[in-house]
């Protein structure tokens, strides 16, 4: 595996254009997410630089642009609030330590080659979770949109404080936020080719606030520290380490999902294939470095990635150029960001929250599956009002139970117990029908096909009741693609019932996983070797000879 990502100079012009375009988009987003999280605008910029640079250097998706994203910011905002509430002195430092730990988990996931499994989540759960995060991001902007600080108490606290926020509304800031949202929504597409809507909204809102409004009454970003960020040693709290560990796992997993889903989007545009495990390692290194220098956590950003590719980016050089431009802003142009109104940034964050909500699926979910609707909206409610971990955990559990139940019901039709050849949908040859009919119901044919997962064991057990009164059992697993342990144990129970009663058992199976599973479990030790055959007709003919 190559250490560095695919960095090349054969597409220098396209990669520079792609990096510049991505940087222009990243600047207002990084500032908005930094302010929204509570860590400060500079934290957003540091995160955009560090995650973007190291993910570009060590990742596995050459055109992926990584930076603080809406979902990561929402989770990190909750982490900051909880840790500061429990330890006001060291809470912020512990929050950045969580970012470091999340990055380490991502590196671990990549090293263990878990990349291909990360995104194996039901879409109903992913849609509900992402939509819930979008709603949280919107709710977090209610205070800033009305010209006030974000109330404490999380989502519930903000909703309860809405009457007070409305009473204390500051019209100038609300007007700036409305202007920002209007630019974002109504900017003609033909102009977006020349300037991103977020940057135009940032410029227009700032200019209006400086030239037309009373500058003293408007809250602004203020001075951002210039120069390189300071190195921060990890800080742990004796009472908070459990919650920090859980938060890090959640943040790391969310970053993995966000990055790999965006990598798939990039693949669909570039017609290339990313390296999932290598990308997780790159994302992990980026988040570790971001946490060490007080930056926000990040992941693959769909908007930045798509725009960068459309501008001509083909290699990871675009991500490096983007990080370099943002670094120049931090080192020498930070003063230009100080007059930006917080209301403008809240308008940008509001638009991000609206875009995160999976409107396309929510509009038609009720047409697709009633159970899917329940899962999706249940996950949304849990995400917004209860807990992110509970939302994903309960959503996955319910979705998987429903899936397993459905698969088990479908696979029950693939478990057939046959004594009468005329009363079955199974295709039997004329000779097999003749032999089975001549047995007069004394021979039971067990035929299984497809994947026999643990849910089918119940169907196999139900069919076992037909063994009563039979003198011989033929178990045909030739058409089984995979035999699970639970299904194998149910088969063993049927076989043991027959062998204990000194009755004959034949296993019809060719070489493959089902036969190997029965051998390893010791099921075949109770059956003579000659009774393991590869065709049904052989078993039927031998049984006829025995009865003659």
Last residue of a domain, one of 332, 358, 389: 332
On whether residue 113 sits in a domain, the answer given is yes
On whether residue 458 sits in a domain, the answer given is yes
On whether residue 179 sits in a domain, the answer given is no
Residues 76 and 91 in one domain: yes
Residues 400 and 463 in one domain: no
User: What's the average model confidence in pLDDT over 259-275?
Assistant: 87
Q: Cα separation of 61 and 315, whole Å?
A: 9
Residues 457 and 398 in one domain: no
- Asked whether 357 and 219 are in contact (CB, 8 A), the reply is no
DSSP letter for each residue of 189-215? HHHHTTS-HHHHHHHHHHHHHHHTS-G
Residues 405 and 421 in one domain: no
The predicted model scores a pTM of 0.79
Check pLDDT > 60 for residue 2.
no
Q: What was the pLDDT predicted at 424? A: 66
Residues 383 and 431 in one domain: no
On whether residue 71 sits in a domain, the answer given is yes
- Choice among 192-206, 360-374, 403-417 with the minimum mean pLDDT: 403-417
Q: Cα separation of 257 and 121, whole Å?
A: 9
pLDDT tens, position by position, 439-477: 877 888 888 888 777 667 777 777 766 677 788 888 898
Residues 254 and 106 in one domain: yes
Q: What was the pLDDT predicted at 43? A: 94
Residues 418 and 397 in one domain: no
What three-state secondary structure class fits 334?
A: helix
DSSP letter for each residue of 16-53? HHHHHHHHHHHHHHHHHHHHHHTS-HHHHHHHHHHHHH
Percentage of residues of the chain with pLDDT beyond 90: 40
Task: Indicate the DSSP class of residue 356.
Answer: H
Would you state the structure tokens that stand for residue 442, as one six-digit string?
A: 């004394």
Would you state the structure tokens that stand for residue 509, as one six-digit string?
A: 């199976």
Would you state the structure tokens that stand for residue 302, as one six-digit string?
A: 């769909």
User: What's the average model confidence in pLDDT over 205-233?
Assistant: 84
DSSP letter for each residue of 457-524? HHHHHHHHGGGTT-SEEEEEEEEEEEE-HHHHHHHHHHHHHHHHTT-EEEEE--SSHHHHHHHHTTGG
What pLDDT band is residue 1 in, cutting at 50, 70 and 90?
Answer: very low
The values of phi and psi at residue 67, to 5°, are: -170, 175
How many structural domains does the chain have? 3
Last residue of a domain, one of 412, 444, 469: 412
Check pLDDT > 70 for residue 3.
no
The domain in which residue 402 lies consists of: 368-412
What pLDDT band is residue 277 in, cutting at 50, 70 and 90?
Answer: very high
Residues 405 and 293 in one domain: no
Cα-Cα-Cα-Cα torsion 91, 95, 100, 103, nearest 10 degrees, comes to: 160
Would you state the structure tokens that stand for residue 120, as one six-digit string?
A: 């194996």
Q: What was the pLDDT predicted at 503? A: 87
Task: Say if strands 415-418 and 443-452 run parallel, antiparallel, or are unpaired.
Answer: antiparallel
What is the torsional sign of CA 427, 428, 433, 439?
negative
On whether residue 353 sits in a domain, the answer given is no
Q: What was the pLDDT predicted at 464? A: 67
What is the torsional sign of CA 272, 278, 280, 284?
negative
On whether residue 171 sits in a domain, the answer given is no
Residue of higher predicted confidence among 280 and 403: 280
On whether residue 188 sits in a domain, the answer given is no
pLDDT tens, position by position, 117-164: 876 778 888 889 889 989 999 999 999 999 998 887 788 999 999 999
Mean pLDDT taken over the chain: 87
Provide the strand spans (E) within 261-383: 299-300
- Choice among 97-106, 257-266, 404-413 with the minimum mean pLDDT: 404-413
On whether residue 154 sits in a domain, the answer given is yes
- Asked whether 43 and 221 are in contact (CB, 8 A), the reply is no
Q: Cα separation of 303 and 305, whole Å?
A: 5
Residue of higher predicted confidence among 281 and 541: 281
Residues 373 and 241 in one domain: no
Residues 138 and 120 in one domain: yes
Cα-Cα-Cα-Cα torsion 105, 108, 112, 115, nearest 10 degrees, comes to: 50
- Choice among 269-273, 366-370, 493-497 with the minimum mean pLDDT: 366-370
Last residue of a domain, one of 332, 358, 388: 332
- Asked whether 286 and 49 are in contact (CB, 8 A), the reply is no
Per the listing, tokens 């055109």 go with 63
Residues 314 and 419 in one domain: no
Residues 387 and 319 in one domain: no
């Amino acid at each position: 595996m190559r250490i560095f990502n695919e960095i090349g100079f054969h597409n220098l012009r396209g990669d520079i254009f792609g990096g510049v375009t991505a940087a222009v988009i990243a600047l207002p987003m990084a500032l908005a997410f930094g302010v929204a999280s509570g860590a400060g605008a500079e934290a957003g910029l540091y995160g955009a630089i560090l995650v973007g640079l190291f993910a570009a250097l060590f990742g596995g998706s050459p055109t992926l642009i990584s930076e603080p994203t809406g979902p990561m910011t929402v989770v990190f905002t909750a982490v900051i609030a909880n840790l500061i509430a429990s330890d006001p002195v060291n809470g912020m430092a512990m929050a950045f330590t969580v970012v470091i730990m999340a990055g380490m988990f991502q590196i671990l996931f990549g090293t263990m080659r878990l990349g291909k499994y990360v995104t194996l989540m039901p879409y109903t759960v992913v849609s509900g979770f992402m939509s819930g995060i979008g709603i949280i991001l919107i709710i977090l902007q209610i205070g800033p949109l009305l010209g006030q600080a974000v109330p404490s108490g999380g989502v519930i606290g903000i909703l309860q404080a809405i009457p007070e926020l409305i009473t204390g509304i500051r019209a100038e800031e609300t007007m700036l936020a409305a202007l920002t949202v209007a630019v974002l929504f109504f900017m003609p597409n033909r102009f977006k080719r020349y300037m991103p809507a977020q940057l135009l909204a940032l410029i227009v809102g700032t200019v209006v606030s400086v030239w037309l409004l009373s500058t003293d009454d408007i809250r602004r970003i203020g001075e951002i520290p210039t120069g390189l960020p300071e190195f921060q040693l990890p800080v742990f709290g004796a009472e908070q380490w459990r919650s920090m560990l859980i938060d890090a796992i959640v943040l790391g997993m969310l970053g993995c999902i966000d990055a790999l889903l965006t990598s798939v989007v990039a693949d669909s545009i570039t017609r290339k294939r990313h390296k999932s495990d290598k990308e997780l390692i790159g994302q992990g290194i980026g988040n570790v470095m971001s946490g060490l220098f007080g930056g926000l956590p990040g992941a693959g950003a769909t908007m930045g990635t798509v725009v960068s590719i459309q501008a001509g980016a083909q290699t990871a050089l675009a991500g490096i150029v983007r990080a370099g431009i943002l670094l120049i802003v931090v080192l020498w142009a930070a003063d230009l960001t100080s007059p930006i109104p917080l209301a403008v940034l809240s308008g940008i964050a509001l638009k991000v929250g609206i875009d995160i909500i999976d409107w396309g699926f929510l509009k038609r979910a009720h047409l697709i599956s009633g159970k899917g609707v329940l899962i999706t909206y249940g996950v949304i409610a849990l995400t917004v009002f209860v807990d992110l971990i509970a939302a994903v955990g309960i959503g996955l559990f319910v979705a998987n139970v429903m899936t397993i139940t459905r698969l088990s019901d479908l696979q029950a039709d693939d478990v057939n117990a046959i004594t009468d050849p005329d009363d079955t949908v199974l295709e039997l040859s004329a000779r097999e029908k003749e032999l089975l009919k001549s047995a007069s119901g004394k021979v039971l044919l067990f035929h299984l096909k497809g994947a026999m997962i643990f849910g089918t064991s119940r169907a196999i057990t139900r069919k076992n009741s037909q063994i009563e009164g039979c003198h011989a059992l033929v178990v045909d697993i030739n058409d089984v693609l995979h035999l699970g342990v639970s299904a194998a144990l149910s088969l063993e129970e049927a076989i043991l019932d027959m062998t204990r009663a000194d009755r004959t058992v034949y296993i019809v199976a060719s070489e493959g996983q089902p036969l190997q599973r029965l051998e390893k479990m010791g099921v075949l030790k109770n059956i003579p070797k000659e009774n393991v055959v590869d065709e049904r007709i052989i078993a039927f003919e031998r049984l006829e000879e025995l009865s003659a």
